Amino acid sequence: MKKKILVAGGAGFIGFHLCQSLLKNNKVICLDNYFTGSKKNIEILSKNKNFSFIKQNVQKKITLKCDEIYNLACPASPKKYQKNPLDTIKTNIFGSINLLELAKKNNAKIFQASTSEVYGDPLIHPQDESYRGNVNIIGVRACYDEGKRLAESIFFDYYRTHKINIKIARIFNTYGPNMNNDDGRVVSNFILSALKGNPLIIHGNGKQTRSFCYVSDTVRGLVKLMNSKMAIQGPINIGSDNEITIYNLAKKIIKLTNSKSKIVNVEKAEDDPIKRKPNLYLAKKLLNWNRQVKLENGLQKTIDYFKNK
């Protein structure tokens, strides 16, 4: 019999790709309130008879039957999660508790989409999972960073108290097709601007770095973690260790799109991390997971997606 898997946040960018991947062998229930998710994604997924959708906020109690739960429900773009910071905090805390209660009731495995943001503006480089981070607790990013940190704590307390089978991945910057046009994150912003011939706006001097992972690689990592033995709980970094400055990313996208766009620097974003790159030792050793898609190839696929859109 097919497993019944709940994906909270399945109408969003990574959630959409995760649902597509899980539907190959399972029944998938997506629960989402469309805060940043797209109805178009759900329309595409609904073509599969093993897919069903529930429009609901994870902050409310959830009652359904399932074998596994993925918690991706949370806005991920700084532009979106800072729009209503109190809601972001509530989604992380009450969403985690409600889904963990559901896992307890169903005796289900549960996965939490944590983030590289738990390391804040990191003082060690690259970041490994034992690093406890450098988050500005009272800053504008804290609703997300601290929300995700507390979610990890809640997951481990449910494990210690109720022996729930938990899995936590710290996802690093992921990009690819099916990001929303107004998402606000750097890859989609730069591609859309380059395709329209508009300036690519860099916050700050562009020397800040990120390490971008193509979405199919990220999703493979999340599923491998979910399917790993119970002793492997994480947190485990999932992402790319191919570090690039935001300035070089802009140049690359201008080149790949054959665009005449200029680069324009504006004021640095508040609390913007200066460097970010994961140490992937645990993902490789425990999950036998490796990134497969090169940045140029992943960017080209994403450019093609936005061109066709």
Q: Which residues are catalytic?
A: 144
Q: Contact between 6 and ligand UDP (CB under 6 A)?
A: no
Tokens 């022996």 sit on residue: 163
Q: Contact between 83 and ligand UDP (CB under 6 A)?
A: no
CB of 189 to ligand UDP, least distance (A): 4
State the Cα angle at 84 between 79 and 9, rounded to 5°. Answer: 75
Work out what residue 78 binds among ligand UDP, ligand NAD, none; the CB cut-off runs from 5 to 8 Å by kind. Answer: ligand UDP
Nearer to ligand NAD, 121 or 261 (CB): 121
Residue type, 270: E
Chain CA centroid to CA 137, Å = 21
Work out what residue 33 binds among ligand UDP, ligand NAD, none; the CB cut-off runs from 5 to 8 Å by kind. Answer: ligand NAD
- Dig out the tokens for 226 from the structure: 């979910």
Instruction: Find residue 112's DSSP bridge partners.
Output: 71, 168
Outline where the chain has alpha helix (H): 13-22, 39-45, 78-81, 85-106, 142-162, 186-196, 215-226, 246-257, 281-287, 295-308
Work out what residue 246 binds among ligand UDP, ligand NAD, none; the CB cut-off runs from 5 to 8 Å by kind. Answer: ligand UDP
* Separation between Cα atoms, residue 273 and residue 151, nearest integer Å: 21
Taking Cα atoms as reference points, which of 260, 269, 268, 256 lies closest to residue 306?
Answer: 256
User: Which one of residues 208, 218, 257, 261 is an interface residue with ligand UDP (CB under 6 A)?
Assistant: 208
- Distance in angstroms between the alpha carbons of the first and the last residue of the chain: 37
User: Which one of residues 28, 74, 100, 118 is an interface residue with ligand NAD (CB under 6 A)?
Assistant: 74
Beta strand pairing call for 209-211 and 243-245:
antiparallel
Nearer to ligand UDP, 118 or 226 (CB): 118
Beta strand pairing call for 263-266 and 200-203:
parallel
Residue type, 158: Y
User: Which one of residues 151, 202, 226, 295 is an interface residue with ligand UDP (CB under 6 A)?
Assistant: 202
CB of 156 to ligand UDP, least distance (A): 24
Q: Tell me the window of 7-15, 185-193, 252-260, 293-301 that interacts with ligand UDP (CB under 6 A).
A: 185-193
Query: Residues 242 to 261: which contact ligand UDP by CB under 6 A?
Result: 246
Q: Tell me the window of 13-21, 43-51, 193-201, 256-264 that interacts with ligand NAD (CB under 6 A).
A: 13-21
Work out what residue 171 binds among ligand NAD, ligand UDP, none; the CB cut-off runs from 5 to 8 Å by kind. Answer: ligand NAD
Instruction: Report DSSP state, residue 267.
Output: P
Work out what residue 13 binds among ligand UDP, ligand NAD, none; the CB cut-off runs from 5 to 8 Å by kind. Answer: ligand NAD
Q: Tell me the window of 99-107, 169-177, 198-206, 271-279 that interacts with ligand NAD (CB under 6 A).
A: 169-177
- Dig out the tokens for 219 from the structure: 């999703």
Q: Contact between 97 and ligand UDP (CB under 6 A)?
A: no
Taking Cα atoms as reference points, which of 178, 162, 184, 189 lies closest to residue 253?
Answer: 189
Instruction: Report DSSP state, residue 124.
Output: S
Taking Cα atoms as reference points, which of 52, 138, 62 lies closest to residue 97?
Answer: 62
Work out what residue 32 binds among ligand NAD, ligand UDP, none; the CB cut-off runs from 5 to 8 Å by kind. Answer: ligand NAD
Query: Residues 271 to 290: which contact ligand UDP by CB under 6 A?
Result: 272
How many amino acids of this chain bind ligand UDP (CB under 6 A)? 14
Q: Which residues bind ligand UDP (CB under 6 A)?
A: 77-78, 173, 185-186, 189, 201-203, 208, 210, 246, 269, 272
